[in-house]
Each structure stands twice: as structure tokens, then as C-alpha cells.
Structure 1
Amino acid sequence: MSQKSKPHTYLIGEIGQNHNGSIDIARLIIDLASRPAIDELFHYTLMGMDAVKLTKRDLNFELSNSALKKPYNTPHSFGKTYGEHRNALELSDEEHYELYKYAKEKGLDFVETLCAPSCLSLLKYFSPDRLKVASRDLTNLPLLQALAETKLPLILSTGMAGQKELNEALDVITNYHDNISILHCVSEYPTIPQNVNLNSIPFLKENYPEFVIGYSDHTIGIATPLAAAAMGAGIIEKHITIDRMMKGTDQSGSLGIEGVQRMVRDIRLLELSLGEKAIFSDPAVEKTKMKLERSIAVKKSMKEGDILQEDDFQMLSPGDGYKWSEKDLLVGKVLKKDISENEIIYPDFHF
């Protein structure tokens, strides 16, 4: 048997705005993403997430003046107007750099969603491992050009786009490089099952084989990202938080501490489970095979000198005797000693 393949799913913990404008909360979420997952049944310590992602906005290039000044009076508001609310949730370039260094200390990659060309000022401090284009900006071709010019690997989300919009985005980016990942996504929060359409993943894999295909999830729970990984998604992105009851519009739709552990554990176990495109009897089942598989046995007690006939045979466990496909090795053979009813016929019973 050839060596079993061990695919690796690149898991991104999306912090987004779940830090609530606090670098300390962001550090705690990074801690969560970096934790190994534990499988208690087999005593496995499994690799945690691969990366965390933050978002950088420039409110001067974010919303219209009227939208910024609009009153924002909800339980999740961090300001009297929507502009004040958004501003309260922004971290400075220096704070992003501090979190980049902290993530690196924890062994994590650092991904940044940059929402305006002016946000590239961040690159004066550090180079993210990947840049992310939010679904809403897939048609923002000037931004895509600015990001592509950095030559940093790019991740595209398709949550608001069809194939036409995706192709237009790729036409812009590939003028500069082709280190691109495409994430199937549905920009519905939370996404209802009927709208998830995971079959977009094999569609993207078939039509864009030169790129890594993944999935950015907005469903509740872990079943959908696990299924996406099983369908071949090379990247899974999921919102994470330290407390789903915390203030903030994305908290309740994110995975909390236990959910992160469960999702990472199950995807890492899935990676170990996929194996290869073949069917075979694994050496690990040999003991069970010997115990439970069937062997040719006699239906009745027989004496030394009796001639074995097919009508004398039945199939019983254990599985260490002759298989039915080998019955011609026994038919017509003479017993050289007595054999009791319902016993396996072994080679030492016949001439």
C-alpha cells in the first residue's frame, strides 16, 4: 500500500471587528487561534489554525458623508453615529503591527483585509503573509490593482459576485501576479443552508485549477466548513471570538472558544481520514479481520475418511480459514481426522 496522503487545510481565524477596538481582546483571540486542538479519544494533539485575519479601513474612503453621520443607535453601537461607531472599531497601523508580531510569536500567519489603497500605509510597518479582498470589493478594480501591485499573495472572496465579476477581478490581478486564492462565499449573515451552495467549490476547482480554492463561511456552527474541507477546499476562513455574547454585530455569528476547538479538531482529523483514491484492506484491520471475517466450516460432525462436499460447508467466524472463493481446494478432499459440528476446516484436517 502506498503512503496515505495528508492534505493540509489552511485555517484562517477571522478576527474582523470582534476585537471591539481593543488590542488586548485581539491578542486573546490570537491566543485562541493558536491553540492546538485535542482529540481525547485517540490522545492526539492536532495543529491549530494557520492564520488570523484583521481588517484595515480608512473611513475617508469608506462611506458617504450622509452614511457616516447617520445615527447608529443599537445595542451593538460604539458611537452615536455610524461614523463614530466605525472609528471606535479601528486599530491604528501601529496596533496592527503589534498584533502581527504577536501572531508571529504564536506561530501564526497574519492576513490583512485592506479596504482602500490608502490602507497600504500598513506595509511601511510589515508585510502580511497574504492580503484579503473582501467580497464587497471584488468589483473595486482600482483597489485590486493597488493590492496586486504589492505582489503579495491575494485571497479573493466571491460572496457578492458571479463568474463575470470574478473573471474581471482576475484579469486585473494577473497582470501583476498569479499567487491567488479564491474563496467561495455567501454574504448573508448568517447564511441559511439553502443558500450555501457548497457545489461552487468543485465548480471553482474545475474552472480555475491554477488557483487555490477555498471557502469563507458565514453559517452557524461547524458542519458546513467541515463539509467544505471534505469537498477539497484548501482554505477555510471562519469568524472567531472569545465570547459570542460580547457586544458587537459579528460576535453571535462567530465561533467561540469551544466551537473553534471543535472545528479545528474535526478538520484536522478529516485531513488524516481522507487517504487515497483506492480500496484496500489496511493492516490496521488485520486483527479485526481475523476475528470477524468468515471461513469455511462444517455444518455437522464428520469422521476421518469422510469426503468433503460443498453441501457440508457453511461460513463461520473467525476468519483465519479458507474463504468461499477457495472452496474448490476442499471439495473432494478426504478428512484425515474427525471434525466437530460448526468448526472451521483448517489445512491439517484434510489430505
Structure 2
Amino acid sequence: MEIKLGNKLIGSNHKTYFIADIAANHDGDIERAKKLILLAKEAGADAAKFQHFETKSFASEKGFKGLGGKFSHQSKWKKAVFDVYQDAEVPEDWTAVLKNYCDFLGIDFFSTPYGLNIVDHLNPYVPAFKIGSGDINFPQILKKVSITGKPVLISTGASTIEEVRFALKEIKKYNKEIVLFQCNTNYTGSEDNFKYIHLNVLKKYQKEFPEVILGLSDHTQGDITVLGAVALGARVIEKHFTDDTKREGPDHPFSLDPPSWKKMVQRVRILEKSLGNENKKIEKNEIETVILQRRCIRAKKNILEGSLVKEEDIEFQRPAPAGSLSPKHSPEIVGKRALRDISKEDVLNWENIQK
């Protein structure tokens, strides 16, 4: 299975595709948004992603106030939840500007639509649609993005396997090009979160949904979970991106900065080389070590020509040069006649032992 995102093929036999989720880290400034796109490109990202929404239509101010407090990662926000959302909006007139700048730099432009009308707005600009975990049970938007015919990337944080099945069933009615992300939606950046990531869910997804491409949408510190996910088959990685994790804002604290992002990409590229393929064979860089590290049958003492070789006459030692016999041949050697004198520690083979 492979799909095309922008100009790149994505799949198990291709390099990992990296999405830098700028999200709210533009801080309401389009020039800052463009700066982050440039930094993401320079750090090795394949795509820069934003989030398009109109706060008044996607969130209820009364509803959040009615919760009686702020919870999870939102508890650290200094402003009201509704106000933070409003500050994070990407105005529609930014879209073409950001898309054109991405094209100029050679990086794909993505955005998550948090509204049915926003799908229509984004469709001319994006190569695929990313659906956030919170909309996994929102069939209306799943259908809306699926019928565009563009690949659908969907995160599965804070969801059950039944909900994942439901979402995929809805998408597959109209679209077969899917990237399925394992995800945890706790954005606090706590080290305690690592025990909730459950990368092994990727194994479950691979078995149950072999027709999709696996991904990881990650909000933990560093890149350790990314490396684990790639080792388990993920080929699309999404992480938040900023230039300064100390900046004020909802997404900065758990984002990667340019040096960390670049290091992550470099480490994944090394990992990809290390993963290799499933063919088990002696590699060209270890051929010489076959001689150096393997044992062969050698004379434990001098063996006279014409004598029968006994168990106590042989031992198994390194190295094992070409033409020597491995220990597995010892039953064939014992009881056979020496064709010539064999000195102690000499190799026994079919040139000096009778077959």
C-alpha cells in the first residue's frame, strides 16, 4: 500500500514523511507563521500543518464555562479556553499566502479543517486532509473530507478500537487512501505520558487494517516515541513545531524546536537504514568475520598419516578459513583415516582426511 502526499510516495517501502504541526504556534502573526514554515523546511519537515477553524462555530463559550474549570492541558492556559481558541485561528485570507509560501520553499501545505465549510475552503490548497482525534466520532466531516478524493489522515487519540473501526468504515465508503495515526491527546508534556502512548497499538492496526498506512501523532517530549513508532511500521510522523518552547501559548511547551526536529529526522533516517529488509543472509560487511569468529575442526595434537581420528584428537577453534570443516562435521571426521601427517592446531578437511 502506498499513497502520494504532494510529490512524495508514502508507504512501508518509502522514507518516513514528517509533518510539522505549527498549529497555534503562529501566535496570530502571519509573518511568524511563514518564519515557522521556513524553519520547518530547513529542519527536514516534509509538510507544514496548520489548523483552520472558526471558534464561534466549533466551540461553545457557554459550554466551556459550564464545565466549571479547565482540565488536562487546558488547566495551564492563562486565558479562557474560548479566548485561546480565538487567538489560534488562521484567518481564511492567510490560506493562499501560506500555501504559496510553502510552494516557494518546496514543502507541502496541510491544515486540519474544524468545520464542514472549511473543507470546501481548504480543498484547493491541500494535497490531503488531516482529521484530529476529537472528530473521530463526527461522521459528517469524515464524509466531507473523504468525498474530495484526497488522502485522509486521521488521529485516534482518546478513542476506543470500536470508534476507530467506525471512523474507518465511514471513510472507506468514499475513500481508500488512509493514514491511521496512533495518538494520545494529553498535551501536558509530562514524562508520565510515555506509559500511555501504547505504540504497540500500531501492531493492532497493522493486523486489523492492513490496507492503511500507519502513522504517529505525538505530543511527548523528544523523539523516543517517534523512533519506536517507525520501528513498528509508522511512515508518517506528526509533531508540533515551534522556534521556542518557552514562548507563551498553548502548543509551544510540547513542541519540538528546529535543532530537536532536525535531530529527530536524522535519527529516523539512520533507523530506516538499520531496519533494512526481512532477508536474513550474510552481509558483505561481515563476510570476513565469518572466518574470524566461527570455529572449525583443528587437530588437538599431532595426528600421524594412516591413523584413525578419535574424538580426543580434535577440538573446535577460531578462525575458520575457507575449506575448513565446521564442528557439525565432527561425526563424519571421527573414525576416518588421516591421509597425511597433521600437525597440532592444523585444520582438518577433506584434503587431509579420508571421506
Whole-angstrom CA distance in 1 between matches of 2:131 and 2:346: 69
Per the normalisation by structure 2, the TM-score is 0.80
SS in 1 for 2:206: helix
- Contact 2:16–2:237 (CA under 8 A) maintained in structure 1: yes
Q: Which amino acid aligns with 1:123?
A: L
Using the TM superposition, give the Cα deviation of residue 55 of structure 1 relative to its aligned residue in structure 2, in angstroms: 0.8
Using the TM superposition, give the Cα deviation of residue 348 of structure 1 relative to its aligned residue in structure 2, in angstroms: 6.2
Equivalent residues in 2 for 1:1-351, closer than 5 Å? 6-35=13-42, 48-66=44-62, 82-120=81-119, 122-123=121-122, 126-189=124-187, 190=189, 192-302=193-303, 307-320=308-321, 321-327=324-330, 330-331=333-334, 332-334=336-338, 336-337=340-341, 339=343, 341-345=344-348
Identity, in percent, stands at 27
Is the alpha carbon distance of 1:82 and 1:276 closer, same or farther for their aligned partners in structure 2, counting shifts above 3 Å?
closer
- Contact 1:131–1:152 (CA under 8 A) maintained in structure 2: yes
- Contact 2:139–2:170 (CA under 8 A) maintained in structure 1: yes
Whole-angstrom CA distance in 2 between matches of 1:326 and 1:105: 66
SS in 1 for 2:22: strand
- Contact 1:133–1:157 (CA under 8 A) maintained in structure 2: yes
Whole-angstrom CA distance in 2 between matches of 1:170 and 1:337: 75
**Count of equivalent residues:** 332
Using the TM superposition, give the Cα deviation of residue 350 of structure 1 relative to its aligned residue in structure 2, in angstroms: 5.7
Is the alpha carbon distance of 1:333 and 1:127 closer, same or farther for their aligned partners in structure 2, counting shifts above 3 Å?
farther
Output the aligned Cα RMSD: 3.2
Whole-angstrom CA distance in 2 between matches of 1:24 and 1:333: 87
- Contact 2:303–2:313 (CA under 8 A) maintained in structure 1: no
Is the alpha carbon distance of 1:286 and 1:75 closer, same or farther for their aligned partners in structure 2, counting shifts above 3 Å?
same
Q: After superposition, give the CA deviation of every residue in 1:34-87 in whole Å (9 maximum; x if it has no partner).
A: 347xxxxxxxxxxx433222111112212224368999999865xx65544433
Q: Which amino acid aligns with 2:134?
A: R
SS in 1 for 2:20: strand
SS in 2 for 1:112: strand
1:39 is aligned to none
Using the TM superposition, give the Cα deviation of residue 244 of structure 1 relative to its aligned residue in structure 2, in angstroms: 1.8
Q: Which amino acid aligns with 2:140?
A: P
Q: Which moves more between the two structures, 191-200 or 299-308?
A: 299-308
Whole-angstrom CA distance in 1 between matches of 2:301 and 2:35: 71
SS in 2 for 1:227: helix
Using the TM superposition, give the Cα deviation of residue 221 of structure 1 relative to its aligned residue in structure 2, in angstroms: 2.1
Q: Which amino acid aligns with 1:184?
A: Q
- Contact 2:22–2:50 (CA under 8 A) maintained in structure 1: yes
SS in 2 for 1:192: helix
Q: Which moves more between the two structures, 16-25 or 280-289?
A: 16-25
Using the TM superposition, give the Cα deviation of residue 337 of structure 1 relative to its aligned residue in structure 2, in angstroms: 4.6
Q: Which amino acid aligns with 1:27?
A: K
- Contact 1:316–1:344 (CA under 8 A) maintained in structure 2: no
Is the alpha carbon distance of 1:155 and 1:333 closer, same or farther for their aligned partners in structure 2, counting shifts above 3 Å?
same
2:9 is aligned to none
Is the alpha carbon distance of 1:18 and 1:322 closer, same or farther for their aligned partners in structure 2, counting shifts above 3 Å?
same
Runs of at least 5 residues in structure 2 that lack an aligned partner in the other structure: 1-11
- Contact 2:51–2:114 (CA under 8 A) maintained in structure 1: yes
- Contact 1:129–1:153 (CA under 8 A) maintained in structure 2: yes
- Contact 1:298–1:314 (CA under 8 A) maintained in structure 2: yes
Whole-angstrom CA distance in 1 between matches of 2:75 and 2:199: 33
- Contact 1:6–1:272 (CA under 8 A) maintained in structure 2: no
Q: After superposition, give the CA deviation of every residue in 1:226-270 in whole Å (9 maximum; x if it has no partner).
A: 112211223222222222222222222122233222322222222
